[in-house]
Amino acid sequence: MQAKAEAAAQARDALGRGSQPVGTRGVLGGSERTHVVVAGDSLYKIAAHFYGNGNRWPEIFEANKDIIKNPRIIRPGQKLRIP
């Protein structure tokens, strides 16, 4: 079990982030990525991580308006859909 924990830690370190997409699930034949917010995250940073362009943060905001009321305020533990 320790080897799995070490491998997971190395994967996180390789990405330079404290978290990774937490999974995928089928959505009408496609898949949807998710991300669990960690301290220090912003929609800009999350967009930069997933899309390679932080300026695409409004796409994440629009997909999560049921969870996020103010795009400047996201909280650790929130599970966001990444379209």
| pLDDT value of residue 7 | 44
Please name the amino acid found at residue 71: P
Instruction: Give the pLDDT confidence of 30-83 residue by residue, as tens digits.
Output: 578 999 999 999 999 999 999 999 999 999 999 999 999 999 999 999 999 999
As a whole number, mean pLDDT of residues 7-31 equals 45
Q: Domain residue spans in the chain?
A: 19-82
Residue with tokens 């994967």: 11
CATH number for the domain formed by residue range(s) 19-82:
3.10.350.10
pLDDT at position 13 is 44
Q: Which residues of 5-15 are buried (b: 16+ CB within 10 A; e: fewer)?
A: eeeeeeeeeee
DSSP string, 16-75: TSS--EEEEEEETTEEEEEEE--TT--HHHHHHHHHS-GGGHHHHHHHTTTT-SSTT---
